[in-house]
Structure 1
Amino acid sequence: MVEGNTVANTLKKILDELEEGDLNNPFLDAQLLMTYVLNVDKTYLFVHRDQILEQETVDKLMDLVKKRKKGYPLQYIIGKQEFMGLDFYVEPGVLVPRPDTEILVESIIDRVKAMGHTGNKINIVDIGTGSGAIALSLAYYIKGAYIYAIDISDKALNIANKNCKDIGLEDRVVFLKGNLINPLEKFHLDDRINIIVSNPPYIKSNEIAQLQTEVSTYEPKLALDGGDDGLDYYREIIPIAKRYLINRGILAFEIGYDQGDSVSELMKSEGYVEIDIIKDLAGMDRVVIGKIQKEN
């Protein structure tokens, strides 16, 4: 029997350590940490179970394991997160893209298909782009989409720009710095935007500390805090979005699990119609999407 620092033994050692922490999937985390440090895929870990690892490699692994055990986001350690089938670079200072946000992107893609889009230009605005996950996914999957991606954070815009270049979408995505939709003013786009999308901060201020450690401690509070009731940014975006959207243009948000009715009412009060609340796989409210009906 092969003993010592084999791939199999080291993987078990990592798993034992991570299982002591408050993590959702310690086995997957253990695998991803090993594949990251060894620069291999997951299959390699099983095919080469008896391979002996250098002590230096094991030490490096265990240092990263200690960080992860404390709740430090795995995505910040390995520098990436998969979203909509694409790899996005992430680092501290930018929100990690979540699988639930794919529901928002898929909802917009479905609406565009239902419109019978044939590849003609569609102007889309992404407010609070972060790593660029929403904007770049829409540009990638909707041919003819031209995206204005806005964020107030220089770090977020730098990371989003990197992701844009890595995916090869520089010709159809422009990044703008500023608060909410304000940077669009200089482009004279009133009544010319087909879709506005946002995953704004929507956590109630007093609930941030109750989130998982990896979110509450390590992810940027600016991207989480939605004010006392979590609705501050919806109240700001919904009225001003009307200025830029074409008649029957789409406004789509990611929302908190208990915000579907509240955001829908805010949209209705500003003249939006055909409003749908879309639930995630857990049956919780996740997306609100509707169209603006402008008077003739």
Structure 2
Amino acid sequence: MITAKEILKEAVEKLKAKNIDTPQLDAEVVLCNLLGIERVKLHIYPEMEISREICHRYWEAVEKRLKHMPVQYIINRQEFMGLDFWVEEGVLIPRGDTEILVEKVIELYRKHYSPDSVKVLDIGVGSGAISVSLAAFIQDCRVTAVDISPKALKVALKNAKTHQVEDKITFAEGSLFTPLVERNKKEGFDFIVSNPPYIPKQIIANLSKEVKDYEPSLALDGGEDGLDFYRKIVEEAPMFLRKEGWLVFEIGHDQGEDLSKIMEKKDFRHIEIIKDLAGLDRVIIGKRDY
């Protein structure tokens, strides 16, 4: 039998040869997922023996990584807000940057609404990272989660069930506000949140293979300037927001100023751009005051 140390050494060499950015980390994460252990155990017990079955499955997984498939799709897991989310091909992988959006909504809730109940509309639910996290961390919260992708809705429901918040979330298939119009559900929401596609079309070809070859283009392509979906949402949002309700977006690193102007034209007030740890635009909020 081969040891963990030996199989990792071989895997790391293969990954380095393919210019994978984080070969050691990726090799360890994939092996730990198959073994059902924490990474620290690999360092404590480097001589642990790897069974033939695990070995076979491991090399199958490494082959996928050598083709630049994201590790998250290989192991079907991604952590977000301290919660484990199931992810699979066809659904956008949750990013740590999106936690800034969730944290801002929780902050606004505590400041303006707590302990009252709130209604949230999540446009483009994806894996359910935003919806499930808000439902998990805000006790009295009802979320309507919309996505045009049936696969995304299926994954989001799976994650809602995992974290026992499926009773707090209503899932609806369709584009932007369409499912609400069809159901005649123009009830006021306290928050409309969205992490829409915001990458300019011409930039997508320059993205890493992990992103452009595997993640859904539907969740990436924001049109010529990356702002197409923001314009549509800002235009219609006032019909669905309660007075003094909040519109909260994740945005691209240089889109804050342009989106501020779009929101101001639609009479949103108290507009604020929140930066990420690198000092780049990441989230924008605006309040409906009319």
- Shorter-chain TM range is over 0.9
Corresponding residue number in structure 1 for 2:203: 207
| 1:252 partnered with 2:232 | no
Q: Give % identity.
A: 44
| 1:45 partnered with 2:42 | yes
Corresponding residue number in structure 1 for 2:224: 228
Paired AA for residue 20 in structure 1: A
Deviations 1:70-117 (A, max 9, x none): 210111110111101111111111000011111111111111112151
Q: Is the 8 A contact 1:197 1:251 kept in 2?
A: yes
Structure 1: stretches of 5+ with no match in the other structure:
none
Cα distance in 2, alignment partners of residues 281 and 67 from structure 1? 31
Corresponding residue number in structure 1 for 2:61: 64
SS of the residue 1:291 aligns to: strand
SS of the residue 1:117 aligns to: coil
- Please report the TM-score for the alignment, with normalisation by the length of structure 2: 0.96
Corresponding residue number in structure 2 for 1:124: 120
Cα distance in 2, alignment partners of residues 12 and 104 from structure 1? 39
Q: Is the 8 A contact 1:131 1:163 kept in 2?
A: yes
Deviations 1:158-198 (A, max 9, x none): 11111111110121101001110121125554462100000
Paired AA for residue 264 in structure 1: S
State the shift of 1:38 in Å. 1.7
Out of 19, 22, 31, the position equivalent to 2:16 is: 19
Out of 140, 145, 150, the position equivalent to 1:144 is: 140
Cα distance in 1, alignment partners of residues 288 and 108 from structure 2? 14
Cα distance in 2, alignment partners of residues 117 and 215 from structure 1? 38
| 1:185 partnered with 2:181 | yes
Out of 23, 26, 39, the position equivalent to 1:29 is: 26
Corresponding residue number in structure 1 for 2:285: 289
Corresponding residue number in structure 2 for 1:268: 264
Cα distance in 2, alignment partners of residues 102 and 161 from structure 1? 19
Structure 1 stretch displaced more, 32-41 or 209-218: 32-41
Cα distance in 2, alignment partners of residues 184 and 121 from structure 1? 20
State the shift of 1:258 in Å. 1.1
SS of the residue 2:21 aligns to: coil
Aligned length: 290
Out of 212, 219, 227, the position equivalent to 1:216 is: 212
| 1:101 partnered with 2:108 | no
State the shift of 1:9 in Å. 1.6
Cα distance in 1, alignment partners of residues 225 and 268 from structure 2? 22
- Please report the TM-score for the alignment, with normalisation by the length of structure 1: 0.94
